[in-house]
Amino acid sequence: MYKLTSVTKVYQKGRGTVRALDGVDLVISGGEWLAIQGPTGHGKTTLLQMLGGLDRPTSGVVDFDGQDLAQMRESQVTRVRATSIGFIFQTFNLVPTLSAQENVEAALVPLGIGAAERHARASRSLEDVGLGDRARHLPSELSGGQQQRVAIARALVKEPKVLLADEPTGNLDEGTRDEIIGLLESLWRERGLTLILVTHDSSVARRTQRVGIMRNGKLKIRQATRDAAT
């Protein structure tokens, strides 16, 4: 699914530069669950943004299903994001003025799906995450865990191939964290998703198949201590 070759990302910071990614090589198979760990500021989120086509590398190849995201036009990358990649953010990033239902529907807008089908799919997706009865609620009327469930429903409603999660439990308490990770794991199992998860939490990382450690922009891969797939 993904093949990253010598991916480097250099940011300008003041007069100096920051090498957020330094020649990262990575292969991710379809249906794999990969955790990326590492200290803050060592390139985890940058790597996730490269995988999601949210940013472009300074050099290197980000091959996604045979297409180099680094070389595609912006409109093409936007299309790939709209159809194939789902995102979950640490701060949920729900549109505050839209209801849970409408937030989920927002992910279907770029696909040009009609209002009725959008509504039906969004409702199903909310039910899948256990929020069928909260569809009309605004984000501000939901708890953190519920908001993240809405974000997961939004990410999955378009049935993407890949789910990229940037510290999805970072803002949640322990109980809710386990609940959300359990939900992600079950969805990953049921749907055969490729799930790439950035986390500081080793207990979360242990549930994945592989763990990548980012340090100073370099990636080192190791097998997780407990394979969740087994």
Residues at the interface with another protein (CB under 8 A): 45, 49, 52, 54-55, 74-75, 78-79, 81-83, 87, 89-91, 93, 95-98, 102, 105-107, 109-111, 115, 118, 154
Confirm if 35 and 199 have CB atoms less than 8 A apart: yes
CB 107 → another protein: shortest distance, Å?
5
107 or 224: CB nearest another protein: 107
Give Cα 156 distance to the centre of its chain.
10
Please tell me the distance from the alpha carbon of residue 43 to that of residue 214, in angstroms, as a whole number.
Answer: 6
Give 134 or 154: the residue with its C-beta nearer to another protein. Answer: 154
Considering the complex, state which of residue 195 and residue 224 has its C-beta at the smaller distance from another protein.
195
Rounded to the nearest whole angstrom, what is the least distance from the CB of residue 193 to another protein in the complex? Answer: 17
Compute the CA torsion angle 161, 40, 60, 72 (nearest 10 deg).
50
Distance CA 70, CA 61 (A): 6
- Six-digit token pair at 146? 């519920």
Q: With respect to another protein, which residue has the nearer C-beta, 27 or 109?
A: 109
Smallest distance, another protein to C-beta of residue 196, A: 14
DSSP for 12-25, please give it: EETTEEEEEEEEEE
Nearer to another protein, 90 or 169 (CB): 90
Q: Which sign does the torsion angle of CA 118, 120, 121, 123 carry?
A: positive
> How many of the other CB atoms lie within 10 Å of CB of 182?
11
CB closer to another protein out of 98 and 213 = 98
Q: Strands 59-64 and 67-68: what pairing?
A: antiparallel
Nearest approach, Cβ of 76 to another protein (angstroms)? 11
Q: How far is the CB of 101 from another protein (least distance, A)?
A: 10
| 187, two tokens | 């969805």
CA distance 47 to 51: 6
- Strand duo 162-166 + 16-28: pairing: unpaired
Min CB(45)–another protein separation in Å? 7
